[in-house]
Amino acid sequence: MSLVLNGVSKVVEGQSHIYPTDLTLERGTMNVLLGPTQSGKTTLMRLMAGLDVPATGSILWEGRDVTGMRVQDRKVAMVYQQFINYPSMTVYQNIASPLKLMGLKRAEIDRKVREAADLMQLGPLLDRKPLELSGGQQQRCALARALVKDAGLVLLDEPLANLDYKLREELRAEIPRIFEESGAIFVYATTEPEEALLLGGNVATMWEGRITQFGPTPSVYRQPKDATTARVFSDPPMNFTRIVKAGDKISFGAGQTAAATGALAQLPDGTYLAGFRPDHLHLDAKGRDGLHFACTLRVTEITGSETFVHLDHDGDRWVGLIHGVHDLTFGAPITVWLDAAHVYVFTESGDLVAPASYAAAA
């Protein structure tokens, strides 16, 4: 079983929402669409489901062309961010509703409902109505109704975005288990890189209607093929600065230089774009080997156990994610430290030429 997109695009009033896209998803895989708001995740899922018709290209399901086929005629289930349950029905009746529309016999409906309820840990709650459930239980009810259809393709469009932290963590842990037991193709849309890493499987990074990279999630995270993918797969987005390679030295601007070692030593002399993730910046720079940058502090954001520091370095705006709560003075000079092993190098146009040495060795 596979879902294949061949040159699929979506154009609305002359504006491209999805540029021609090729993508193959195999049976029993978890596939995450990762990108910022309006990058095209929902539009691409609607094309997969048959809710929208592509402007160009074709969609194949199990080798059969289903382009333009109605969603009712496909084995597809979709759960949205705004999960929907029928408030006047019990949990049992909500889960059973698509099975009744399929015309299954009562005994078969009962078996499938109870199996789905047990899978979603809703067995003791079948007689309750949705408004008598917690937010997480309501979302599990919506998921059970989608899964009970035995759909070969399950599309989850940011299904946990409206839940509180505890419920999100609970369901993030459950979804991979559910996916493994169902054997369907799962497609899960999110704006959060951390969620993509937790779910595992494959990831397609999206930017302005294009898939920039697709592959196993850890591989895409460690070795993004371009600066756009690296920016998408980092929260906050990856920091960048221009560097100059000359002989055995790398210049980072503002007088900062480092030895060109490892993969950097093999680069031709020239100008490049260096990138590093916010959580690789540190304040405890004294006595450490590596790259030390003299910056100006612009803003701090304390999030409990961590502090976001917004920095100005020679005209580049950076963000550092620093562990702990730090009382820092706005506008003050501040020195941050970066292990050179965490630096990615891209061409000036954004193509990866040297992954971070820690990633290349992983």
Domains of the chain in sequence order: 2-230 (3.40.50.300), 237-360 (2.40.50.140)
Predicted local distance difference test score (pLDDT) of residue 162: 67
Q: Is the pLDDT of residue 48 over 80?
A: yes
Question: Mind listing the pLDDT tens digit for each residue in 173-192?
Answer: 777 777 677 778 999 999 99
Q: Of the given ranges (161-165, 303-307, 343-347), which has the lowest mean pLDDT?
A: 161-165
Q: Which residue has the higher pLDDT, 345 or 256?
A: 345
Predicted local distance difference test score (pLDDT) of residue 296: 93
Q: Which residue has the higher pLDDT, 143 or 27?
A: 27
Report the 3 state secondary structure along the chain: CEEEEEEEEEEECCEEEEEEEEEEEECCCEEEEECCCCCCHHHHHHHHHCCCCCCEEEEEECCEECCCCCHHHCCEEEECCCCCCCCCCCHHHHHHHHHHHCCCCHHHHHHHHHHHHHHCCCHHHCCCCHHHCCHHHHHHHHHHHHHCCCCCEEEEECCCCCCCHHHHHHHHHHHHHHHHHHCCEEEEEECCHHHHHHHCCEEEEEECCEEEEEEEHHHHHHCCCEHHHHHHCCCCCCEEEEEEEECCEEECCCCCEEECCHHHHHCCCEEEEEEECHHHEECCCCCCCCEEEEEEEEEEEECCCEEEEEEEECCEEEEEEEECCCCCCCCCEEEEEECHHHCEEECCCCEEEECCHHHHCC
Share of the chain above pLDDT 90, in %: 57
Mean pLDDT of 313-325: 91
Mean pLDDT of 328-334: 88
Predicted local distance difference test score (pLDDT) of residue 287: 65
